Structure 1
């Protein structure tokens, strides 16, 4: 019989638990769009219905390496999120604000 993860986790040293938690948070903080959609419990079909497009459009978009910010924003908002564009520099981060003025609802 398989062990429950919670039982295995309870047997781990506190340091190992903290390391596992930190690694899990790092993995959740960065992921491709298709994994994000799945983590949010959405199918491509469900997301397509929200965006008023066909399911193949979602599959195609999730494979893209380049797209309009407005397209990405509509995809993120359809999943219940909010897109922020942030530039990271060695001396700090800057949130780019001029994309917030873009018209919402641009199709995929």
Structure 2
């Protein structure tokens, strides 16, 4: 359920930038169908590079954090 909520938030961010799925896909070099999959919660099946492009296309940054109990390490 959390992945669907997060994906919905990505769609909201895209819409706030006044971009449709096709426009964002063209901007970042992926198809509209891939944008749609990300926004429908299929993030786990998406490549990290694709998600990075999506987020950067909206002006953001991706940070990858590995958590081990109380410890967290930024790895990308």
Instruction: Give the Å deviation of 1:96.
Output: 1.2
Question: Highest CA radius of gyration, 1 or 2?
Answer: 1
- 2:28 touches 2:57 (CA, 8 Å); kept in 1? yes
Gap regions ≥5 residues in structure 2:
none
Gap regions ≥5 residues in structure 1:
1-29, 98-108
Q: TM-score, normalised by structure 2?
A: 0.63
Matched residue SS, 1:80: coil
1:11-64 CA-partner distances (Å, limit 9, x unpaired): xxxxxxxxxxxxxxxxxxx83232332344432122022023442332123221
Matched residue SS, 1:31: helix
Alignment of structure 1 residues 1-108 onto 2, 5 Å: 31-32=6-7, 33-63=10-40, 64-66=42-44, 67-97=46-76
| Paired positions, count | 68
State the alpha-carbon separation in 1 of the partners of residues 72 and 54 from structure 2.
24
Runs of 4+ in structure 1 off by over 6 angstroms are none
Q: TM-score, normalised by structure 1?
A: 0.49
CA RMSD of aligned residues (A): 2.4
Bigger RCO (CA 8 Å, 6+ sep): 2
Instruction: Give the Å deviation of 1:71.
Output: 1.1
